[in-house]
Amino acid sequence: MMPMQQDILINWSPQETRVAIVEHGAVQELHLERTLERGLVGNVYLGRVARVLPGMQSTFIDIGLERAAFLHVADLVPGAGAVRGEGEPAHPRTNGHGHGHGQVPIERQVFEGQSLMVQVVKDPIGSKGARLSTQISIAGRLLVFLPQDEHVGVSQKIPAAQRDELRRRLQALVGDAGGGFILRTNAEDASDAELADDIAYLRKAWARIRVAAQQQPAPSLLHQDLDLLQRVLRDLVTEETLSIRIDSREQFDKLLAFGREFMPAAAQKLQHYKGERPIFDLFSIDDEVRKALGRRVDLKSGGYLIVDQTEALTTVDVNTGGFVGARNFDDTIFKTNLEAAGAIARQLRLRNLGGIIIVDFIDMVRDEHRGAVLAELRKQLGRDRVKTTAGGFSPLGLVEMTRKRTRESLAHMLCEPCAVCRGTGAVKTARSVTYDILREILREARQFNPREFRVVASPRVVELFLDEESQHLAGLSDFIGKPISLQAESAMGPEQYDIVLL
């Protein structure tokens, strides 16, 4: 497979940083960070235990956010995270039993009011608070440092043949100073000097965290993960990256200084973009984002995808549309599905869709066509830095896949449910609403005896009452023996109405 050469474009403004990864002229990924909504994953806090829930074997911890964060007993490493304050009772932990299966109940490990050092492992999503762990890990460029562990490991993505050699080298560099390290995938070709620099940087960061934990009151932030600009250099730059262009002089200078200190190879690719046109206009990125928020994705062949994101899963439906290019129908379907496989992989990255994904390709008769489409889908998914797995075709012709949820999807970051339909995507017709109103008046007339009923509703509903439904309204008025008046309210949504008793 030919290497995918990529360019990284960074559009910076005081309120928002946007990063686009462009491969062969097409935007593949969009990363976004808003100054007021920075993600919390990786942040280390000194938290205070707010409530212990023995029934759920979990505890709520105040880390200074709007909602208390959640720590389950499975993420509580015995002894890790406990920070003794003056006058605080001794930590009621048991005598060290309770690793693995014989887990010590949470109520015997933590108590209300206790200070605990915790790390966010999952951002708050929707109504759920942040998820925490007391197993601290600090990510560097090449390594992840686990200060409470002694394990030295190597990423599973590195070929098995190289793993033992890398582990041996890392072990020698770590020495007896304590702490565990995991070698990241991008450290495959790192020199000993680079690894040693990373070890020193991570140990320094941990020392700063420990000092802060002793000096600061709970709850407080002890360590913040790198911001999006710095993470571009640490996580997104690969050997295939040709350039990193940023449109802010001030941020360019800051990033260059940070890069030269920690990631010199990546820093060499940095360029300050001075062009007249906004940097995202170079590859029509804003147009792509607009399309990525829509349900329909048009394919070059004339086919199209319909992408629907729900709470439980995402569905992708492939349609031929107007494409009848090939001589026979089988080939038409095969070509559309083949093109769709690439488009689906790109949409998952661009929209950052996670969880369960169900793809409904157009039915194919021939097994070799199915095999080729599945192979193409897996090949395209292989370019995704987020872990994805795709099963084969189910008996109903569906492909089930999963993609690891790492952050909010693009739609959740940029949009909110429609105030009118409240996220259902449909509203009642004006006629349905008029019949609801007629039923409601009849119900009210049986209970109350006003002088008059006044209907306050949207202009469309009132218009319908004055026109096509006027007979039904007059009939009801005669039946209940009371006048019914109408009042149009332009601020009301299509399903809203009030019945006022006068």
Same domain? 304 vs 370: yes
Separation of alpha carbons 409 and 292, rounded Å: 11
Bridge partners for 403 per DSSP:
355, 388
- Predicted local confidence at residue 268, as pLDDT: 94
- Predicted local confidence at residue 99, as pLDDT: 40
Same domain? 273 vs 299: no
Instruction: Establish if 423 belongs to a structural domain.
Output: no
Same domain? 248 vs 214: no
Q: Quick one: which of 351, 354, 349 has its CA closest to 292?
A: 351
Same domain? 330 vs 347: yes
- Predicted local confidence at residue 2, as pLDDT: 53
Same domain? 367 vs 450: no
CATH of the domain at 281: 3.30.420.60
Residue type for position 82: A
Residue type for position 309: Q
Separation of alpha carbons 77 and 135, rounded Å: 6
* Sign, Cα dihedral of 178, 182, 187, 189: positive
Same domain? 410 vs 446: no
Q: What is the 3-state secondary structure (H, E, C) of 172-204?
A: HHHCCCCCEEEECHHHCCCCHHHHHHHHHHHHH
Domain count within the chain: 4
Instruction: Establish if 419 belongs to a structural domain.
Output: no
Strands 484-488 and 6-13: unpaired
Contact yes or no for 313/278 (Cβ under 8 A): no
Q: Quick one: which of 388, 402, 293, 401 has its CA closest to 350?
A: 293
* Sign, Cα dihedral of 229, 234, 237, 242: positive
Same domain? 315 vs 399: yes
Q: Quick one: which of 398, 391, 390 has its CA closest to 362?
A: 398
- Predicted local confidence at residue 96, as pLDDT: 37
What is the distance of C-alpha 420 from the center of its chain?
A: 25
- Predicted local confidence at residue 90, as pLDDT: 37
Q: Which domain holds residue 319?
A: 295-414
Is residue 452 within a helix (H) or strand (E), and if so which, with residue range?
Answer: none
What is the distance of C-alpha 51 from the center of its chain?
A: 28
Show the beta-strand stretches assigned E in 104-179: 115-122, 131-133, 138-139, 143-146, 152-154
Separation of alpha carbons 314 and 356, rounded Å: 6
- Predicted local confidence at residue 15, as pLDDT: 93
Q: pLDDT by residue for the chain (502 residues), tens digit each?
A: 455 789 999 999 999 999 999 998 889 999 998 887 777 889 999 999 999 999 999 999 999 988 999 999 999 987 777 765 433 433 443 333 334 446 789 999 999 999 999 999 998 887 788 999 999 999 887 899 999 888 888 888 788 888 888 989 998 898 888 889 999 877 877 888 888 888 988 998 898 899 999 999 989 999 987 889 998 988 788 888 999 999 999 999 999 998 887 778 889 999 999 998 999 998 899 998 898 889 999 998 889 999 998 888 999 999 987 655 556 788 889 999 999 999 999 999 999 998 999 999 999 988 999 999 999 999 999 888 787 889 999 988 899 999 987 677 888 888 888 888 887 888 999 999 999 999 999 999 999 999 999 999 999 999 999 999 999 999 999 999 999 999 999 999 899 999 999 9
- Provide the phi-psi class of 284: left if phi over 0, else alpha when psi is between -120 and 50, else beta: left
Same domain? 111 vs 131: yes
Same domain? 206 vs 80: yes
Instruction: Establish if 290 belongs to a structural domain.
Output: no
Separation of alpha carbons 98 and 96, rounded Å: 6
- Predicted local confidence at residue 212, as pLDDT: 94
Same domain? 65 vs 158: yes
CATH of the domain at 170: 2.40.50.140
Q: How many CB atoms lie within 10 A of CB 22?
A: 19
Same domain? 243 vs 312: no
Instruction: Establish if 185 belongs to a structural domain.
Output: yes
Same domain? 200 vs 317: no
Instruction: Establish if 64 belongs to a structural domain.
Output: yes
CATH of the domain at 497: 3.40.1260.20
Domain finish residue from 223, 243, 267:
223
Instruction: Establish if 165 belongs to a structural domain.
Output: yes
Instruction: Establish if 422 belongs to a structural domain.
Output: no
To which residue do tokens 């960061």 refer? Answer: 205
- Predicted local confidence at residue 405, as pLDDT: 79
Instruction: Establish if 1 belongs to a structural domain.
Output: no
